[in-house]
Amino acid sequence: MPVIRQATPDDEPAIRACAEDAYAQYVEAIGRKPQPMVADFAADIAAGQAYVISANGVEVDGFIIFFPNGDHMFLENVAIFTRATGQGLGRSLIEFCEAEAHRLGLVAVELYTNEKMTANQTLYPRLGYLENFRRTENGFHRIYYRKPIVAG
């Protein structure tokens, strides 16, 4: 069973490597590195917003970054090393974020993806996320999604 834990400063190199690995396939389509590849992971870790997942309890296989933003949880970044895809680790991280939103009494989880990341446009709706709106920010064409969190 995968282990999810809060990231520590020692995890920063693995988180950065994971982002580079997971998002490298999109650089050509977008025309530059996507925002998740150049994030300030040290700041995310210091703020307590980063978590890592390990299928074997030892090696970092992926990460997620999220934080409360008003009445919702904002899921800023989720990535899995390509060597670890297909095991449901990304889904486990997203479900963890949703559970934290529920625990905090938030009404939804919101996120965005780049419109060039077409696989996400299938994945997020399958996980119950609804397209909320689209806009261009800093030259990135983004699709915003929202998933209501059911109280109870």
Residues 45-100 pLDDT 10s: 999 999 999 999 889 999 999 999 999 999 999 999 999 999 999 999 999 999 99
Find the domain containing 19 and state its range: 3-107
- Phi first, then psi: give them for residue 127, nearest 5 degrees: -90, 5
Residues with Cβ within 8 Å of 60's Cβ and at least 6 positions away in sequence, in order, are 11, 14, 15, 18, 52, 53, 54, 81
Give me the DSSP letters along the chain: --EEEE--GGGHHHHHHHHHHHHGGGHHHHTS--GGGS--HHHHHHTT-EEEEESSSSS--EEEEEEEETTEEEEEEEEE-GGGTTSSHHHHHHHHHHHHHHHTT-SEEEEEEETT-HHHHHHHHHTT-EEEEEEEETTEEEEEEEEEPPP-
Residue 151 has pLDDT above 70, yes or no: no
Across residues 93-112, what is the average pLDDT? Answer: 97
CATH number at residue 85: 3.40.630.30
Output the six-digit token pair for 110. Answer: 């919101």
Do the domain assignments include residue 39? yes
Do the domain assignments include residue 148? no
Output the six-digit token pair for 5. Answer: 């834990």
Do the domain assignments include residue 67? yes
Q: Indicate the number of domains in the chain.
A: 1
Do the domain assignments include residue 31? yes
Distance CA 18, CA 80 (A): 6
Model confidence pTM above 0.85 = yes
Residues 123-132 pLDDT 10s: 899 999 999 9
Do the domain assignments include residue 20? yes
Question: Which pLDDT does position 117 carry in this prediction?
Answer: 78
Inter-residue contact 51 to 4 (CB < 8 Å): yes
Do the domain assignments include residue 113? no
Do the domain assignments include residue 52? yes
Distance CA 5, CA 84 (A): 17
pLDDT band at 137 (very low <50, low <70, confident <90, very high): confident
Do the domain assignments include residue 126? no
Output the six-digit token pair for 81. Answer: 């090393």
Question: Which pLDDT does position 22 carry in this prediction?
Answer: 93
Residues 75-85 pLDDT 10s: 999 999 999 99
